[in-house]
Structure 1
Amino acid sequence: MSRLRTGVPGTIPVGTLWCALATALLSAALLGDGIGLNLLVVAIPAALATYFAVRPTTRRPRPWTVVWAVGGLALLAVPALRDAGWPSFLAIVSAFALGSLALHGSRSWIGVFLGSLGVLTSVAEALGWAARGIRARMTGSRGRWGVVLRSAAVAFVLLLVFGALFASADAAFADVLGDLTPDVSISDSPWRFFLGLLGLVGALAAAYTAAAPVRWDGLTTEPGKPRGRLEWALPLIVLNLLFAAFLAIQLTVLLGGYDKVMAETDLSYSEYARQGFWQLLWATLLTLLVIALALRWAPRGGPRDRTLVRGVLGTLCLLTLVVVASALRRMDLYVDAYGLTRLRISVAAVELWLGVVLVLIMAAGFFGARMLPRAVAASAALGVLVFGLVSPDGLIAEQNVQRYRDAHSIDIEYLRGLSADAVPALNTLPEPLRSCALEEIQRGLLDSDEPWYATSWGEARARDILGDWKPVHRLRDCGALSTGDNGGDRGGSGETYDPYDPY
């Protein structure tokens, strides 16, 4: 670590200390009530702490640094917009990774991977850096710090006394003050103290990393021993022929129709579409592994070797793209027949992203692979951002409601477990389906007392739509309302359980 880090930064700037303190206070006051806009509010002073820390150094923001920083802040908008926890979790993790990359500025595969977690390695040094800076500034300036502390204490007492008087004098002012002021109680003080400490340590670690980043690109791996042309190309050419034969059969299936194939293979509609998708997904993942290993041991003798590598691997990437399209088509058929679920939309999104990675690999074959690691990381972050912004729960509800209108087939037991993001679509269902789908969501909204900064836009919109609505029908067994064949894994008739979709 001492070899990879650029050096020891100078005395911690005063602006960094104040911003780290602000991050700690905001974390303790806002994050204990839930996740929403408060994450973005807490991230702003933490980002300012890194700005003040890097100003005395020679580091200057580069285009990719701006991309990572802006992307990380944009990802924090997902929890503020969506009530569903699963896309918000992915967005928060991705935002942390992008923020760490912005601080390190890595380029290689190892650098991008370790750089996305590298801010954690600066925690111990950051605390010592801050302690030394505070001790240095306290020496010889005790009187000035005493004035600051006394002034802050007097200002706090004045705000507390006059704020209480004005709140008791006017109910409207009391409501506004109550909405803006965090609800802090003695019982959750240890939890809020932990959140404040986490915010303080995180801001200091980010600032220290910005001032003295770890150059993870310094960790290199020896390239594999190049193989001969025949030894290297023959297995890949055979694999390309296998892919081509499979895709030729797929073309025959598309022209002849799925009904004919199912009649010949004794497979049900769901088994053909469902099992085929998972096999093709694994085929895509394994192909990416084959490409990585092939590049490691590719012949590197001259222009003819480079042409051979580009031709063989380019053909494999192109054929794999068709496999990706076939997998997505199977998932589309399965969703049309049995509805959309969280797992189905998630794995379809992963398959689509793998297709993007293949396109990036093909582009790197023509334009060079220097930017490939960062491009793959950026595509993953962009995919997570888009996935969160499109509201997966909302799309699931819309697709299943439309499917009910077209075929009168619905799995109400599954839909009633969605988040508040699904309320606009579920609200259009006829009774008693509407009451059964929204009863549990409405109960959760009424029981929730989260403040404005911990409430997502999706939850606020659901509150506006439902208001104080109460279910017209009280149903103990909503599963009895499920109609049609829901794909077996959702309780439909005539199909077996899907072990790949337990949600």
Structure 2
Amino acid sequence: MSDAELNDAVPERARAVPVPNPHQWAHHKAEPPQWLVDVRPDPPAAVRSATLWSVLATAVLSALLLGEGLGLNLLVVAAPAALGAYFAARGAGRTLRPWTVVWSLGGPALLVIPALRDAGWPSFLAVVSAVALGSLTLHGSGTWPGVLLSPFGLLGSIGTGFGWAWSGVRERSGGARERWGPVVRTALVAAVLLLVFGALFAGADAAFADLLGGLVPNVSIADGPWRTLLFLVGLVGALAAAHTAAAPLRWDRMRVRSGRARGRIEWAVPLVVLNLLFAAFIAVQLAVLFGGYDKVLQETGLTYAQYARQGFWQLLWATLLTLAVIALALRWAPRDRTLVRSVLGTLCALTLVVVASALRRMELYVDAYGLTRLRISVAAMELWLGLVIVLIAAAGVWGARWLPRAVAASGALAVLVFGLVSPDGLVAEQNVQRYQDTGKIDIGYFQDLSADAVPALDALPEPERSCALAGITDRLGTEGSGGTDRPWFATSVGESRARDILRERPAVPDREACERLGLYDVGRVGVGEY
């Protein structure tokens, strides 16, 4: 039977049955998103010995110095970690660029704040900002995705950093006795000599013993778990930084889709209407400025402080929303540069006037009720937002390629200045001046301030001085209250200065006098109320 006859003999239904594909049930590996492929780092170069030693030094210093508190020890620990990242970057062939220099100088500058100020909140902002600048140093990003996402690259290097370092240690483990024997013997001999002769000299001279006790960290067996945790934190952080320097994620390769261009009427008309609204508000503010507040207060029925308080928060939100409006307009506006610059430039200029109005209202409220941490923080934020608006306006004239880095640098600079001016000290100084001018003071609010406020509060007369310093004195544990000083590397300049003042002129609060001043009145309403 021929092939044609065989085909005719096979029923049509049988011929229609598909041949099974042996690979149709095979597992297909899902492809990663394209953006993840784009930002994937290049394979890192082999880890250098200098990097490994720097990482080990960071871990040891973390265990020895960070257990007592934060101060100059942060800079001491950050130094070998930065060296490890530098050696790793050089091993990968990376070159130093101008913005990298800016970030690498800004990070240590921010870490000076915990060494200067006792207040925890400016120090926290400074440490977080220093980590952000460190991530920018390691990644070298210059786009908005890079500036915003760089800190996540450090987190991604934690696991891979361990494997990278372990492979380097294994490569160097060959001939371990010949390589590491002299190093271990040298370290042991040096440690024994320091221990023996240090103990002899300390026993021979009390002054040398005090000096040695201040320089050497106080380590005990009971602190073992805590010191071990700090060692691991330092090790993980230094390895993550070094691996990121050797193989950074390429955040600048991530592309953000441009928004679909809208017609002029769709975006220009709403922005023009918004500009007119801003102009009308500013005109009212100018009328109030030249006509005086008395008429406005009489018509609105508000008090002087209520008028200032009511407006500040709304104006702060108006500033934030304006930034969002500008971002959306730049995304949807057609590439008509002249019209975009005109409309958005006008909006930026009017927003700066709104920022000035908000700051003026805050000034009025502070004059009425005094300065607090919250008020100085939001005023500083409003100032920084005004600076961001100026940068956006400048980018409209000279191009926006530098804008992401400039905004990040301005934020770090704002945090640095905020810490250097000593917000707690400024709060105390303003309220002391207000007391001298008006006789009004909220003694209870000072109890939550840090030691940075002591020099200003020391200028108060008694019994206000002792009552204002009561809470700070208890927290410091100065002489007379059974406390002891922390080591030099964990003590800020503000705390050390406060201790000196309180030792020279101890605060001895009288309960009856403090009760008359409202210190123990839980129902009081004063400067701490916003």
Q: Deviations over 1:134-163 (max 9, x none)?
A: 010011333221232222122212221221
**1:5–1:212 contact (8 Å) kept in structure 2:** no
1:413 deviation in Å? 0.6
| Counterpart position of 1:416 | 447
One-letter identity of the residue aligned with 2:236 = V
Could you tell me the percent identity over the aligned residues? 68
| Counterpart position of 1:486 | none
2:149 equivalent among 114, 117, 136: 114
Note the residue ranges of structure 2 that are not aligned, 5 or more in a row. 1-35
Q: Deviations over 1:192-221 (max 9, x none)?
A: 111111111111111111111111111112
**2:104–2:133 contact (8 Å) kept in structure 1:** yes
Give matches, 1:181-330, under 5 Å. 181-300=216-335, 305-330=336-361
Say if 2:131 is the partner of 1:93: no
| Counterpart position of 1:72 | 107
2:486 equivalent among 450, 457, 469: 450
Give the Cα separation in 1 of the matches to 2:228 and 2:211.
26
State the TM-score, normalizing by the size of structure 2. 0.89
Give the Cα separation in 2 of the matches to 1:476 and 1:202.
52
| Counterpart position of 1:367 | 398
1:167 deviation in Å? 1.1
State the TM-score, normalizing by the size of structure 1. 0.94
**2:463–2:513 contact (8 Å) kept in structure 1:** no
1:477 deviation in Å? 7.2
Give matches, 1:352-501, under 5 Å. 352-445=383-476, 446=478, 447-467=483-503, 469-475=505-511, 478=514, 480-481=516-517, 491-492=525-526, 501=530
| Counterpart position of 1:151 | 186
Kindly name which structure, 1 or 2, has the bigger radius of gyration based on alpha carbons.
2
Give the Cα separation in 2 of the matches to 1:479 and 1:422.
22
Give the Cα separation in 2 of the matches to 1:490 and 1:111.
49
Give the SS at the match of 1:7: coil
After superposition, the Cα gap between the structure-2 partners of 1:477 and 1:112, relative to the gap in structure 1 and judged at 3 Å, is farther
After superposition, the Cα gap between the structure-2 partners of 1:96 and 1:328, relative to the gap in structure 1 and judged at 3 Å, is same
Give the Cα separation in 2 of the matches to 1:13 and 1:492.
60
Give the Cα separation in 1 of the matches to 2:81 and 2:408.
23
One-letter identity of the residue aligned with 2:160 = E
Give the Cα separation in 2 of the matches to 1:481 and 1:133.
66
Give the Cα separation in 1 of the matches to 2:47 and 2:183.
19
| Counterpart position of 2:196 | 161
1:186 deviation in Å? 1.6
With 148-157 and 248-257 compared, the bigger mean Cα shift is at 148-157
Q: Report the aligned-residue RMSD.
A: 1.8
Give the Cα separation in 1 of the matches to 2:264 and 2:485.
67
One-letter identity of the residue aligned with 1:380 = G
**1:412–1:479 contact (8 Å) kept in structure 2:** no
Q: Deviations over 1:423-481 (max 9, x none)?
A: 11100000000010112222322125310000000111112222153334422673631
1:168 deviation in Å? 1.4
2:362 equivalent among 321, 331, 334: 331
**1:413–1:479 contact (8 Å) kept in structure 2:** no
Give the Cα separation in 1 of the matches to 2:376 and 2:524.
15
With 324-333 and 215-224 compared, the bigger mean Cα shift is at 215-224
1:52 deviation in Å? 1.2
**1:83–1:457 contact (8 Å) kept in structure 2:** yes
Q: Deviations over 1:37-74 (max 9, x none)?
A: 00000000111111111222221110000101100110
After superposition, the Cα gap between the structure-2 partners of 1:490 and 1:246, relative to the gap in structure 1 and judged at 3 Å, is farther
Give the Cα separation in 2 of the matches to 1:99 and 1:200.
16
Runs of 4+ in 1 over 6 A off after TM superposition: none
**1:227–1:299 contact (8 Å) kept in structure 2:** yes
Say if 2:347 is the partner of 1:347: no
One-letter identity of the residue aligned with 1:330 = R
**1:12–1:133 contact (8 Å) kept in structure 2:** yes
With 53-62 and 140-149 compared, the bigger mean Cα shift is at 140-149
| Counterpart position of 2:28 | none
After superposition, the Cα gap between the structure-2 partners of 1:477 and 1:125, relative to the gap in structure 1 and judged at 3 Å, is farther
The number of equivalent residue pairs is 488
Give the Cα separation in 2 of the matches to 1:226 and 1:3.
26
Give the Cα separation in 1 of the matches to 2:321 and 2:287.
25
1:27 equivalent among 62, 65, 76: 62
Give the Cα separation in 2 of the matches to 1:44 and 1:473.
44
Give the Cα separation in 2 of the matches to 1:275 and 1:413.
25
Give the SS at the match of 1:449: coil
One-letter identity of the residue aligned with 2:90 = R
Give the Cα separation in 1 of the matches to 2:512 and 2:486.
28
**2:518–2:524 contact (8 Å) kept in structure 1:** no
**1:107–1:371 contact (8 Å) kept in structure 2:** yes
1:336 deviation in Å? 0.9
Give the Cα separation in 2 of the matches to 1:435 and 1:253.
43
One-letter identity of the residue aligned with 1:234 = V
Give the Cα separation in 1 of the matches to 2:329 and 2:62.
47
Give the SS at the match of 2:344: helix
After superposition, the Cα gap between the structure-2 partners of 1:263 and 1:448, relative to the gap in structure 1 and judged at 3 Å, is farther
Give the Cα separation in 2 of the matches to 1:456 and 1:259.
47
After superposition, the Cα gap between the structure-2 partners of 1:111 and 1:425, relative to the gap in structure 1 and judged at 3 Å, is same
Give the Cα separation in 2 of the matches to 1:281 and 1:412.
29
Give the Cα separation in 1 of the matches to 2:90 and 2:508.
62
After superposition, the Cα gap between the structure-2 partners of 1:357 and 1:159, relative to the gap in structure 1 and judged at 3 Å, is same
Q: Deviations over 1:335-379 (max 9, x none)?
A: 011100000000000000000000000000000000101100100
2:80 equivalent among 45, 60, 64: 45
Give the Cα separation in 2 of the matches to 1:88 and 1:66.
23
Give the Cα separation in 1 of the matches to 2:62 and 2:152.
21
After superposition, the Cα gap between the structure-2 partners of 1:131 and 1:492, relative to the gap in structure 1 and judged at 3 Å, is closer
Give the SS at the match of 1:329: helix
One-letter identity of the residue aligned with 2:348 = C
